């Protein structure tokens, strides 16, 4: 790789462990490896850019505390820089006025998914600006087929990874987070937008994540790492050539990736 300039890091399940703690490791253990990795990253002058399904407002304080130079919210729908003072929209196929989430809600696409997958999907409170959010357990290919058949081909149904919780109201074996977004919105296109704005070559960047929504970023960076807990989470999603699966999970896996990158 050329000199590393930016590391794009997923938040929940990657940099943060179970419960969303920077110190939480597997099986209830406590670890400071992620903290030490962040110190090493900042000390090396590498920009930390967070990428998450969380909303813009939900990421602001986290980014400030972790020292991130920028962050991608709602799976790349907004690129936020300058400590929140600059917001660049990445709305893909959406060309209308106002907030994409309002148009999606009015279209009935979200209601259609809830109707077609009863007991398997439920909405999440509408704090978003671009995407409609759901939780439950649905095959994304099935969800996308429902949308396409109903004339919603401009929308994409994304799986943003497994949640460590149970939902008594749903009959599902595990719980995942889902986003209903305009096509063309992804962490990958968000990363590309950030690279182009900062004139960064692919070879000057790397990424680390834990879900299928993160794996697509591999095409936009020089190196991609999947933390060990993500191997099961991505299911049948194929890993790109050259991708590395860390031996450690969560923040320890993030630290393993940072150590490998900074050591060359």
Helix, strand or coil, per DSSP, at residue 223? strand
- CATH 3.30.479.30 for domain 6-90+185-262, yes or no, is no
- Beta pairing partners, 86: 81
Q: What is the pLDDT along the chain (264 residues), one digit of tens a residue?
A: 569 999 999 999 999 999 899 999 998 899 999 999 999 999 999 999 999 999 999 999 999 999 999 999 999 999 999 888 899 999 999 988 999 999 999 999 999 999 999 999 999 987 899 999 999 999 999 999 999 999 999 999 999 888 888 888 899 999 999 999 999 999 999 999 999 999 999 999 999 999 999 999 999 999 999 999 999 888 777 899 999 999 999 999 999 999 999 997
Q: Model pTM? A: 0.93
- The correct CATH number of 100-182 out of 3.90.1070, 3.90.1200, 3.30.750, 1.10.3470 is 3.90.1070
**Nearest Cα residue to 133 out of 69, 55, 204:** 55
Both tokens of 212, joined, read: 């299928």
Nearest to 157 by CA among 143, 177, 138: 143
pLDDT of residue 2: 61
* Distance spanning both ends of the chain, measured CA to CA: 8
Tokens 């009935």 locate to 108
Domain boundaries, the chain: 6-90+185-262, 100-182
The pLDDT value given to residue 131: 95
Count Cβ atoms below 10 Å from residue 54 Cβ, excluding itself: 24
For 76, the 3-state DSSP assignment is helix
Cβ atoms 54, 45 nearer than 8 A: no
pLDDT at position 236 is 78
Phi-psi region at 146: left, alpha or beta (left = phi > 0; alpha = psi -120 to 50): alpha
């Amino acid at each position: 790789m050329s000199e590393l300039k930016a590391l794009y890091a997923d938040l929940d399940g990657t940099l943060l462990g179970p419960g969303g703690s920077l110190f939480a490791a597997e099986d209830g253990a406590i670890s400071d490896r992620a903290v030490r990795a962040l110190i090493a990253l900042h000390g090396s002058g590498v920009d930390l850019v967070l990428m998450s399904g969380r909303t813009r407002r939900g990421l602001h304080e986290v980014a400030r505390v972790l020292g991130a130079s920028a962050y991608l919210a709602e799976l790349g729908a907004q690129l936020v820089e300058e400590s929140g003072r600059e917001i660049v929209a990445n709305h893909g196929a959406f060309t209308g006025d106002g907030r994409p989430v309002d148009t999606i809600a009015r279209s009935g696409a979200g209601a259609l998914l809830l109707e077609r997958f009863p007991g398997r999907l439920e909405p999440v409170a509408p704090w978003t600006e671009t995407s409609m959010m759901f939780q439950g357990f649905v095959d994304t290919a099935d969800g996308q087929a429902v949308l396409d058949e109903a004339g919603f081909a401009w929308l994409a149904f994304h799986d943003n990874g497994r949640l460590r919780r149970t939902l008594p109201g749903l009959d599902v074996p595990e719980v995942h987070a889902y986003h209903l977004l305009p096509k063309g919105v992804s962490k990958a296109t968000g990363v590309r937008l950030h690279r182009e704005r900062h004139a960064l070559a692919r070879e000057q960047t790397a990424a680390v994540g834990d879900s299928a929504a993160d794996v697509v970023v591999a095409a936009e960076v020089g190196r991609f790492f999947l933390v060990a807990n993500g191997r099961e989470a991505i299911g049948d999603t194929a890993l790109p050539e050259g991708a590395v699966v860390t031996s450690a999970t969560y923040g320890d896996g993030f630290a393993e990736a940072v150590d490998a990158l900074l050591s060359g």
